[in-house]
Amino acid sequence: MAIPQLQVLNALDVAQTQWYHFRAIVIAGMGFFTDAYDLFSISLVTRLLGRIYYTIPGAAKPGTLPINVLAAVNGVALCGTLVGQLFFGWLGDNMGRKKVYGITLVLMVASSLASGLSFSHSAKAVMATLCFFRFWLGFGVGGDYPLSATIMSEYANKKTRGAFIAAVFAMQGIGILTGGIVALIVSAGFESKYHSLSFVEDAAASCPPEADYIWRTILMFGAFPAALTYYWRMQMPETARYTALIVKNAKKAAEDMSKVLQVEIIAEQEEVDKLVDDPQTFGLFTWQFVRLYGFRLLGTTSTWLLLDIAFYSQNLFQKDLFSSIGWIPPAKDMSAIREVYKVARAQTLIALCGTVPGYWFTVAFIDVIGRFWIQLGGFIMMTVFMFALGIPYHHWQQKAHRGGFIAMYSLTFFFANFGPNATTFVVPAEVFPARLRSTCHGISAAAGKAGAIIGAFGFLYLSQEKDPKLRDAGYPAGIGKRDSLIVLAILNFIGAMFTLLVPEAKGKSLEEAAGEVEGRDEEAK
């Protein structure tokens, strides 16, 4: 028996693009702005933290974070994000999308501010408090993934739903770019005020005490844009699909969407009762879910896992790659403030040329080309460019070829974002039933963050050079950056293979994409 399409849901599916769509994109997107800003801005200041807290008097080179501390600082927020995705994803299906939405924003804003206020002057205390607050920052960020994606998917019309969800996610690119710009402005301002010398000229003067304010200012800034959207986030009505299909209140769903769409919508409580009374309604931990949705959940989790290993490895450690090819001068030849500026400039250029355009290409073409082909093509192109960077890696280290390396490295970011980094976020919000949508998106996103953790911790160790002269003191030998790039290329190719499990949702209603309209006794296509 085909499941009837409720009038309130059909009204959303066929609605013309209106102001409320753009307001929802901004409200949800500012959360993702903060997500990306806070998760990736840490890579801008880790070298500064090493110079401030771990420089040994009389040493030949500036201090660096010990490898275990660096792994913790980079990875603890990702651990919090993984937990938050699972917890808030489940909570969103059981308490409602809106009720939980404000909690995640408050967590993000408060923890972002607290990260910059990490107290004490001893290295151990500062790093411990920083990691503590960044875990809870990640916890709030994790909740924003399933909730923002689910809310945007349930508000959007089916014609442009992919573009709207992708536009929310594209704010991640703006957050990454803004992080670099803020670091440039802050470091340039401090450098003009405190004319510090390079480390080789005067080790003590190369890192003035005021440099401690730089990393704190950079980390705290991301809280403010998101905080400005709190009121509007709380004013958003609950999504009609949650109210009608899960709470079973057709009247409330019709009232809310009548105000949003500014059209008359008839409540259909009898139709909702038919859906509720369907004996084939099943939960997540059932054989029927595995039979109908198991392969697509495997597809969404595996592709996000594999993508994030490469994506977060690239983002968090690009500064080390740039140093290894000579684009960023050796630390001893710069002051601490100048090093922040150089790292920020490099990462801002990559974001401007590759990262941000890739996101918006996805917004433009996702409802034209489709999710499947963008994801498959993105994985394949990332594989090609990673191999092209890794195999002749020593060629790219030559000064004459650095420009080519930067161009190709930017293209890997472009095709990550005009590819699986965007589509792995979009698809899980479309292809699962409403009562499990937020949970399944949270599971898929958590798999991605497991990949990010592997990238943050594993790549840190794996990419260390075999030659002790090319490693910082205390770092164990790995397989080197060349072989690490080749490993990432192989993982991207495997991601392309798992994409074959991901269904296409272009042009379908959420109920059609989830295989519900055709009847629950049929296998989800």
Residue 323, pLDDT > 80, answer no
Instruction: Select from 153, 196, 129 the least CA-distant residue to 341.
Output: 196
Chain Cα centroid distance, residue 323: 25
| Sign of the alpha-carbon dihedral angle for 144, 146, 151, 156 | positive
Assign 259 a pLDDT band (cuts: 50, 70, 90). confident
Span 258-284, mean pLDDT? Answer: 73
Q: Which residues contact 177 (CB under 8 A, 6 or more apart)?
A: 348, 351, 352, 355, 356
Model pLDDT for residues 371-384, shown as the tens digit of each residue: 999 999 999 999 99
The pLDDT assigned to 4 comes to: 57
* Lowest-pLDDT range of 118-122, 205-209, 369-373, 520-524: 520-524
Separation between Cα atoms, residue 129 and residue 121, nearest integer Å: 11
Separation between Cα atoms, residue 272 and residue 282, nearest integer Å: 16
Instruction: Select from 458, 91, 482, 90 the least CA-distant residue to 305.
Output: 458
Span 509-524, mean pLDDT? Answer: 66
Asked if residue 169 lies in contact with residue 425, where contact means CB atoms within 8 angstroms, the answer is yes
Instruction: Select from 48, 443, 385 the least CA-distant residue to 210.
Output: 48
The pLDDT assigned to 299 comes to: 97
Assign 277 a pLDDT band (cuts: 50, 70, 90). low
Assign 522 a pLDDT band (cuts: 50, 70, 90). very low
Q: What is the mean pLDDT of the chain?
A: 87
Count other Cβ atoms within 10 Å, centred on residue 348.
Answer: 21
pTM: 0.86
Instruction: Select from 423, 417, 426, 419 the least CA-distant residue to 357.
Output: 417
Separation between Cα atoms, residue 54 and residue 65, nearest integer Å: 6
Q: CA separation (Å) from 288 to 101, 325, 443?
A: 30, 53, 18
Q: Which residues contact 219 (CB under 8 A, 6 or more apart)?
A: 38, 41, 42, 45, 112, 115, 116
Count other Cβ atoms within 10 Å, centred on residue 278.
Answer: 14
Model pLDDT for residues 335-346, shown as the tens digit of each residue: 999 999 998 998
Model pLDDT for residues 154-205, shown as the tens digit of each residue: 888 888 999 999 999 999 889 999 999 999 999 999 999 888 888 988 888 8
DSSP letter (8 states) at residue 475: P
The pLDDT assigned to 521 comes to: 37
The pLDDT assigned to 376 comes to: 97
- CA 418-421-427 angle, to 5 degrees, is 100
